[in-house]
Structure 1
């Protein structure tokens, strides 16, 4: 740094300005928590079926909040400024904060992917896709544990990471900056694998588009989710490009606080968008249904269909000259008796009075086989194999 001392009065890039850092990461953090809140409300109050995927989303949200807070705190210790001019005490404090935020970020990149894969297991109940999800779950879990261990334990003892002068005999590796090449290689390898896993995880549900009879409504909803996932992947690619270009903030010269803000901003945005994308499939269908209930007008059309009897009368009841339909509300018959009969007599023969219609008569005992004109109620139960996945 001394051999390539930067200009202390050099204008700050946009990504290094305090207002840019605050304005970029705080709104997206709030959006991610709104998405988590809606997800939890649906899972606990509507579906009443919380799962491990919800636990990992909340855990990722908590870790993301902690990492974002540390990023904002690091501004006070020189983030965005040239490392050479922030002072020795701020160098130590910045390294302490960076140690924590880097370890948290590496941990949560694996946790949010694990949450998404557990969410996919709710959809893919059997078959090849379920085994693909389980395999990815195992691989990403191992990847996360490996890199998280290297991030949380970069040196032994750990405090040698930010205070190497007091512990010259400490053992450091990887993120502990044992040597320049290993430090750069570890950063680039983690970022590259993170990008590959982002792409793989967000492309896995694309098989749902091949589901027969997929409704257009569901197709548009899934497309919106995949667009958000594509933005996450694009953010990962952008972060990888920035890290490769600056060689993990060491090229053209070592200046952690000057070259790092862009990649740190992209790291925060990546996690915020990933959390939002993971929560949208849970709450969006219920949110859309609620909005539709407010703004959609339902039209009701009432129609009447009459059936003609054998005598061509437009009545469902048999036409009768001897029995009038004009009954009094009290239920009394024309003869003055309080008991009303449903039968009528013609020529000494008792005949059914008002329910001669074949369709109406067939519904009196609906579970029997139809006996009048082929009318009646018949129940058919069709069974088929349960689907391998459900939307």
Structure 2
């Protein structure tokens, strides 16, 4: 059958009555019901249907009472009957490579069925999600929700419509689109203000069947997490000290040595986020464009930018702690201070670098730099409420 509207009729069995029953029509013995069979049309038909659009079921006569569209795995497409009862439309698109069964019933308890199958996606788009489910579920007050896509997202508004954030205290926030450090498209959700400790967050990404413009999504995604203690790390490049606060109370002040001013070795400044706690890692300056400045194993390492700015132990630079900024861009401190800080810090803690001698603020996608934007600037990056987003 060609793709298009399929007219289907349900065969009905006439009701008959017993002798002298009310089903008799004038005593001539004929059945009392001469209803026309129920007929529906479905906008998708056949076994070569292109995915990426909603399912619409229309009724020739009468009114719909119920429509159910399910796949072979038991998944169901939710939908809504129109006010006039003449049609039903699914809330979501038909997914690629899926066989669907349509079951409809009218207000007179008649029924009709249909089937169709969508073709597989030529190209699939996938999502990398932060925070994921493998980090213990607790993050700091500055942690955004971040989605990075394998392939370009040209239909940004269509994708953003399928992303839902639910919080335990109705936290206000917005999605914003930009380029990740990899050059891939990325959309993050940032609260208007920093999260409140104890907030529970759920993210539902109903993307199965959505056309990104350069590939379909073939599954849904979700994640959930909770906001931990309100911990903030503030590095003052002028005093060469880091202040650690919790719930607004100062826990400690740590002598540090940050990046050497005046060139590539200077530190980034502004508001950033503790991205990962990587522990003991090998740091090779050639991987960040600093030639042969260093190549060593470094303890208690916590990443702040993708371009290689860390907070870590730097015992080789002990003479400069609290006295001079003389590192290759990272914020270093003693082994003892780094061990305590590493143990108590959370992924998602705010890291703010102030003072003179930095190389400026990092790009938003070089970590999580959205806190350097005003709320209005951030909202303008939404494909739904902000300025138009080009693919």
TM-score w.r.t. the length of structure 2 is 0.19
Rg larger for: 1
| Bigger fraction of residues in helix | 1
- Higher RCO (CA 8 Å, separation ≥ 6 residues): 1
TM-score w.r.t. the length of structure 1 is 0.19
